[in-house]
Structure 1
């Protein structure tokens, strides 16, 4: 996890998009979505998206749920509104009722809905409701961005459909375009689950693009005015994506869209989905920072899985700087720094020995558990890399196993923990399986000296334990300081019990760097001010890696 990013891991395959009008058979029902953006007011930060969704082959009894919509996200001031919502089928208009839920809103039908269902509504987009996730619908410059689960209702059906996405841009100024995760303009997706719409991303308006004329699968899109070198960062990312596609043995380069939108609430955060990523930019966003984020997030295009964060996030951290270095896009010292920041956060984590089974229930509330599978997973893969190299006399590496898992996903075969364990067992036998079980049980992972290749060697040292200085384990929810520890750096910096605090930088990012100070915005007795301190406690044993000067860099990639 880099910065305040939240990675949404979606395992539904998107399928290849084809231009609208592709032939279909009667056995392939087609769901149609018509998107008409209008009433765009850049100054007010408001817009409306007129949505018409036509869904064939529905069979919903009276009193049952018709569809749902995600209407809230962290720190939103109010729900994402869907106005003037109507439903009809061959019998005419159907009366519906909403539970007005906050978070996930549901609608039920008062009579049976059968055959082709048409849903029409207006999605009202208002920047005044913006929250901390970059995927929240937002007006930026002369355009609008949003994610599927907030802009589109999700029909309550497990049927598979072709999906036709169509744009009506008559409500925008000339030159406007519409782009989604699936491609530019009108697209038709092959038969598949509707879950692929959940985190699909959409942008419309006066869209700027890099490269200006995409020649491969990569493109970056934005409608605002980022104050950093977008072209430079996206040119680097395009090269990185092309290298990754070759590395993971794609038959052809798949689509990948980066969407950029402004945020005053939480600049620097990003949300990942299959074949797409949205980054919120703002004060402090730099081209170098964007490159670091995308090195991690683009890996998810190939390695996402739903059987453990240790796998999907662990291998993304393992590769996030390694592949750019192997591609010749970053210097070796930057790669070494990335290794050491990951190791430092892992060994400084007081929950280092928590079993994997405890992570899911605490992931969103306890910062220690939020970062643990990222760091532990990365060092797990590094350790396996060394074990496989030694076992095969350097003829194989962890790359070979990961590529098999990627190929399974590409061929629509199950990508499961059992599939991974079968690979691991064939490669390393009980020794590999035993190491895997120990990792899941929470045993400290200490990669061998050569885990990252012969160019690097391991050193032992000390790192100070990360310690905010206050609160219990659920520190991610802290808004008022309590349980301040008198001997902590926070107390020495002047924080007090009862202070209202707002974190204006990523605590996860500060956790990763032992030398990074933390600034909190404090409100006390009607006065507001900032307090900056180094959130560290007692020293603990740690490991880091350095360049081995006896081995030429050319032999390590």
Structure 2
């Protein structure tokens, strides 16, 4: 009996694990010519499928890009008996069952210039002579069906080229893992590097690293300090992840004189920022808070539809609630002042009031989401407005003891053991706390009725007022002008811009003043006209008038007011 048991045990130990459980090994290196980075070389090692045919492929799509394999060149396979490439980003590899396979390829740049604010599609890899930036979705192919397989990663860099990635949190040949990782983690990664990469290691016990390329209106040290503070605030809110590894990256965008642009995306245990080199540090507060909140919402609060066209109907929660908390948590912690909090809300409220798609039904907004910037913003706006309203209702119904935080923290716990969409879990837990959201969803999210904030939405420190103001209009076709290299197109002869001297054919060199969607603040443009430069200043007002809700603070900017504006429950305030 013992002998038989020992033989069986020995057989179990020595048997090879199934292919799906064997690690996929990634290695990344830069290709350099004459000191310039020309491409990124990827090596993927794995075992062949038992069927004899392995499908090597790219992710189906991410961030609006469906053809993520299109930047791969010179795909080669070692260990195969045959390889067939299809037109849909799949390489079908024939090999002996469980054979060792090595796929190598080059990733080239999606751009032949430094990315601008018009080029800020984060799915597309950037490889410039001095730096590179890429999301794992476009960088890494993988054997189909192995998304849950363990993964290792190594960077084999060249001298003088810095590198940073959340893939460094995973195991490598000479590196112990800071956390377990799978192929899915490799796809949801970010890599950045270059000759002037600045890195700030995690030496404060937070686990947070920061890496930046290029120059901005703020120093890398300022971004590092701000990022660590924002991360600490949100970890305290969720009561999780203290000390967990996390990476913040920043890549530069060349600005457009007519607009300022910055954005980011959450990448599991990292978030990646694309930042206009003119954007001030204050603008980074909201952006960092928004992107880091995505570490939980929706990833740990439930699932989202896999179908790309179905997801926009759920963005009111994943994006709108994230917008709400990006402002609420920062004012509670004093990262932004009550005045900054009001200014951020007022900017959004003005944009919502003037939105050309404000009354789209839910189905119409979802259908337009991927092709219409205003429709994309609508999901953020509607979700944030409803979050503020529902927070207030919970406070009032509970006598100040329960707020939206109560539901969100309960959802974090529930989602660990519950399957289902994050929106469905939220509805169920909100109802358990005495908040029914069905009527609001039907009116505002499904039918598209405008959302109006009650005057006391933010408590005793602020009131919501309604103003009648002119609609916001630049007086020219901004999109056509940007597409024409900032040469002015479509000036309205009846607009204040024309009266101030703006004409078609002038080249905009810089916007010197003005606020997005604010018709009451003067707009200034430095233009070049027949070789001469001059500044044109006017009020960006259209012919129509719109009703705009605005927040007015009513009490001194003390800490108690920051917590009240941030929607905290009295039990938490104590």
User: Smaller-chain TM-score range?
Assistant: 0.7 to 0.9
1:539 is paired with a residue whose SS is strand
Which of 104, 119, 133 is the equivalent residue of 1:120?
104
1:387 aligns with 2:393: yes
Asked if structure 2 preserves the Cα contact closer than 8 Å seen for 1:141 and 1:225, the reply is no
Which of 417, 429, 432 is the equivalent residue of 1:426?
432
Asked if structure 1 preserves the Cα contact closer than 8 Å seen for 2:394 and 2:402, the reply is yes
Q: CA offsets per residue over residues 239-264 of structure 1, 9 Å max, x none?
A: 12101101012153443311122333
Structure with higher Rg: it is 2
Q: CA offsets per residue over residues 202-234 of structure 1, 9 Å max, x none?
A: 134564223563521322112445452221232
What CA distance in whole angstroms lies between the structure 1 residues aligned with 2:416 and 2:34?
42
1:172 counterpart residue number: 159
Question: Offset at 1:341?
Answer: 1.3
Q: Which has the higher helix share?
A: 2
2:41 counterpart residue number: 50
1:543 aligns with 2:537: no
Question: Offset at 1:396?
Answer: 0.5
Q: Where do residues 33-72 of structure 1 align in structure 2 (5 Å cutoff)?
A: 33-39=26-32, 44=36, 46-58=37-49, 66-68=56-58
The runs of 5 or more residues in structure 1 that have no matched partner are 1-23, 100-104
Q: TM-score, normalised by structure 2?
A: 0.75
1:183 aligns with 2:169: yes
What CA distance in whole angstroms lies between the structure 2 residues aligned with 1:550 and 1:228?
29
What CA distance in whole angstroms lies between the structure 1 residues aligned with 2:492 and 2:213?
47
Which of 125, 136, 153 is the equivalent residue of 2:141?
153
Question: Offset at 1:543?
Answer: 1.5
What CA distance in whole angstroms lies between the structure 1 residues aligned with 2:142 and 2:363?
31
1:451 is paired with a residue whose SS is coil
CA RMSD of aligned residues (A): 4.3
Asked if structure 1 preserves the Cα contact closer than 8 Å seen for 2:462 and 2:551, the reply is yes
Question: Offset at 1:109?
Answer: 3.0
1:511 is paired with a residue whose SS is coil
Asked if structure 2 preserves the Cα contact closer than 8 Å seen for 1:521 and 1:529, the reply is yes
1:29 counterpart residue number: 22
Asked if structure 1 preserves the Cα contact closer than 8 Å seen for 2:297 and 2:322, the reply is yes
Q: CA offsets per residue over residues 143-162 of structure 1, 9 Å max, x none?
A: 53321122222443365201
Which of 264, 282, 290 is the equivalent residue of 1:296?
290
Q: Which has the higher strand share?
A: 1
The runs of 5 or more residues in structure 2 that have no matched partner are 1-14, 305-310, 564-574
2:240 counterpart residue number: 250
2:72 is paired with a residue whose SS is strand
Asked if structure 1 preserves the Cα contact closer than 8 Å seen for 2:389 and 2:453, the reply is yes
What CA distance in whole angstroms lies between the structure 2 residues aligned with 1:500 and 1:66?
51
Asked if structure 1 preserves the Cα contact closer than 8 Å seen for 2:217 and 2:281, the reply is no
1:21 counterpart residue number: none
What CA distance in whole angstroms lies between the structure 1 residues aligned with 2:562 and 2:143?
51
1:438 aligns with 2:449: no
Which of 63, 78, 87 is the equivalent residue of 1:88?
78
- Residue correspondences, number: 514
1:241 counterpart residue number: 231
Question: Offset at 1:351?
Answer: 2.1
1:96 is paired with a residue whose SS is strand
2:192 counterpart residue number: 203
Question: Offset at 1:235?
Answer: 0.5
Question: Offset at 1:95?
Answer: 2.9
What CA distance in whole angstroms lies between the structure 2 residues aligned with 1:517 and 1:269?
20
Question: Which structure has the higher relative contact order (CA within 8 Å, separation 6+)?
Answer: 1
